[in-house]
Structure 1
Amino acid sequence: MKFKLLFSFAVSICFIGCSSSDDIVETPTNNNPKNIMFIGGINKYYALDSGTGQLKWSFSVTNGTFQYSTAFYSNNVLYVGCTDKYLYALDATSGNLIWKFKTNESIESSVFVSNNTVFFGSDDDNFYAVNATTGELKWKYSTGFNVSSSPTVSEDIVYFASDDGNIYALDQNNGNLKWKYYAGDIFNSSSASIVQNNLYIGNRNGNIYNINKLTGELIWEKQLGSSIENSSPTILDGYLYTTDKNSLYKIDALTGNIVWQSYSTSYSSSPYVNENYVFVNSSSGNIIVIDKQNGNIKWQKTIYSNSAEAVATNATVFIGGGGSNYIYALSENDGTERWKYPINSTTTSAPVIINKDGNLVYPSKSGGRN
């Protein structure tokens, strides 16, 4: 398993409100419960009331952490990976275990569910497709190194990156290779974002790639200042947002040209973008909220976020506090604390929200990104 610092690195989309895939960002949940926040910590996975911060349930494991894998919600089931090598299917109402599936190493990849199939990667160098109802293996595909980058599905193809330096496109029904593109360095937790026929992703060599999702051919690449391996790109209204160690970038998604560049002491998460702001974290412990039109800082707050990833909906920002051992809900406009929930561990996990309108909101890191 790759070495990761809980206090330095983690990771962070909606086309209509935050990041991208040619699916949607906020997905109706068909009259399922509303105002729920799902988030992982060390040894526990939590469901909280997103309006009040009260605990609904928690699910415990003996050894392992849910810090890295972001859950996917489907038909009142949460699917999430753990560093104890298991993928878990949990009842989203009660937190009860439905089934679990074991791989040979930690699961840091987030999850995508499509056609009753759960897609995810493992640090055992394999990419898996598992029956969402039974937990039985459908197929797996072996790569040359860890798969901690998260998958996304578009039409009949599942896309993911491996730390062998390749981006893969597989037939989601049988795992047959459609194409692969060699980018020459590891992706770590940077995951692909798809808009129409364009696949965007960055990696350790500091490049952002725009690749034709149908053919695997390079459309453009842009060299930024340093590694992008801990940031997944967010696409909104024709612009790409991403971070490297020292800067947040707004980039023209069509051409790759930089629109603005916002400097910080050390950005350490993927950006979450909505109609007004960009939300991002720094390894100094601050959540930073930036005006997406000009790149100016709107507000920042020290919560020792330690690379935790934010999600914003209903004028509220939800985020794990990392070193402060709290989960927070903050006013999107000025950072005023709405509530905080104490946990007995750090958390750099990214939250998944079912908001007050019954829509699902995912972070950029997630396979369920919108």
Structure 2
Amino acid sequence: MDETPVFNGPKNRIFIGGMNKYYALDSQSGQLKWSFLVDSGTFQYSTAFYQDNVLYVGCTDSYIYALNAEYGNQLWKFKTNGPIESSVFVSGTTVFVGSDDDSFYALNAATGELKWKYATGFNVSSSPIVSGENVYFGSDDGYLYALAQSTGTLQWKYYVGDIFNSSSPAIVQDNLYIGNRNGYVYNIRKDTGALIWKKLLGSSLEFSSPTILDGYLYVSDKYSLYKMEASAGNLVWQSSHPGNYSSSPFVNENSVYFSSSSGNIVASDKQSGTVKWQKTIYSNSAEPVAADAKVYIGGGGSNFIYAFSEKDGTEIWKYPVNSTVTSAPVILNKDGKLFYPSKSGGRN
């Protein structure tokens, strides 16, 4: 769970992408604050990054957009040569993002000008994460990359097999965790790229990114949700529910939240994995994010954005968007704290 304090800009906001519109809603009432329209493409895959009253988000029209978070007006845009499914990560004055043009980009956060570009030769839809001097991401060539933030110079790469559709790395201290399509979770040293351990869980982890909290790793494959010891990879519990899992888990002090391809949003007990409540929304719903006693989620093909009670799943509000919503939200709460989904560069 990531709670980052913000000292300026709007409060009580949910930022989320639909098809060709990006939305800002009041997180308490669901009231629309603004929407940003593009001529073509979709915001269905990339999760935005918020910094200093600016939202940075990728679109399948091949552009990365910088938007004013208060009013939704465009500040700049940068064109890559392919659709953007990767979420954005901003570190200091640099925007990092992958593109399906087989390249990874570093841009000036203020102007959108290119700082450097690194070609992997394969799509980069895995979302990046920054730690120390390096930026880390996966590519469809099966490698996990570590590049120098400042120059884009390759520090190391490690082959983890058939990845990466949208599984993204998470980092805790010196360890980096990521899943692959063959059902393995990897723990890799972030400074050297050396393997610490790998564990076979079950089916594909390509759509689920690991979430780490209080020394435990949470991840889902197609059929089960897992809790593991992050240090050694030992299994604590495995929980299976009807319907295939389709999202990364969101974990806070109370529960583990996830969505399934059958259309359910599920809250499970963090200690045992047993279901606390579940609600049927629509198939292919987005990854949920919990903040301020609410759980927010894009409702897939239901064409709604929802807020549910974190305690019992009671619907608090829903907002109609007239399009499929499969991207994960970013929440800026009443105290100016940010809540990100886990797949967005491991920031949960």
Q: TM-score, normalised by structure 1?
A: 0.93
> What amino acid does structure 2 have at the position aligned with 1:100?
K
Check the 8 A contact 2:168/2:346 in 1, yes or no: no
2:74 matched residue in structure 1:
97
1:144 matched residue in structure 2:
121
Q: Deviations 1:151-199 (Å, cap 9, x if unpaired)?
A: 0000111000001000000000000011100112121110000000000
2:211 matched residue in structure 1:
234
Task: Summarize the alignment of residues 84-233 of structure 1 with structure 2, pairs less than 5 Å apart.
Answer: 84-233=61-210
Residues 92 and 368 of structure 1: CA distance in aligned 2, closer, same or farther (over 3 Å): farther
Give the SS at the match of 2:39.
strand
Give the SS at the match of 1:65.
coil
Give the SS at the match of 2:168.
coil
1:68 matched residue in structure 2:
45
Q: Which of the numbers 281, 286, 308 marks the counterpart of 2:286?
A: 308
Q: Is 1:270 aligned to 2:248, yes or no?
A: yes
Check the 8 A contact 1:305/1:320 in 2, yes or no: no
Check the 8 A contact 2:85/2:100 in 1, yes or no: yes
> What amino acid does structure 1 have at the position aligned with 2:307?
A
* Structure 1 residues not aligned, in runs of 5+: 1-13, 15-24
Q: Deviations 1:252-286 (Å, cap 9, x if unpaired)?
A: 11111111001122111000000010000111100
Shift of 1:367: 2.7
Check the 8 A contact 1:245/1:267 in 2, yes or no: yes
Q: Is 1:347 aligned to 2:325, yes or no?
A: yes
1:356 matched residue in structure 2:
334
1:142 and 1:203 mapped to 2: Cα distance? 21
Q: Which of the numbers 289, 294, 299 marks the counterpart of 2:277?
A: 299
Q: Is 1:332 aligned to 2:310, yes or no?
A: yes
Check the 8 A contact 2:179/2:206 in 1, yes or no: yes
**Identical-pair percentage:** 73
2:166 and 2:115 mapped to 1: Cα distance? 24
1:306 and 1:168 mapped to 2: Cα distance? 29
Shift of 1:144: 2.6
2:345 and 2:192 mapped to 1: Cα distance? 21
Q: Is 1:31 aligned to 2:8, yes or no?
A: yes
* Structure 2 residues not aligned, in runs of 5+: none
Q: TM-score, normalised by structure 2?
A: 0.98
Give the SS at the match of 1:324.
coil
1:352 and 1:368 mapped to 2: Cα distance? 13
Larger RCO: 1 or 2 (CA < 8 Å, sep 6+)? 1
Give the SS at the match of 2:301.
helix
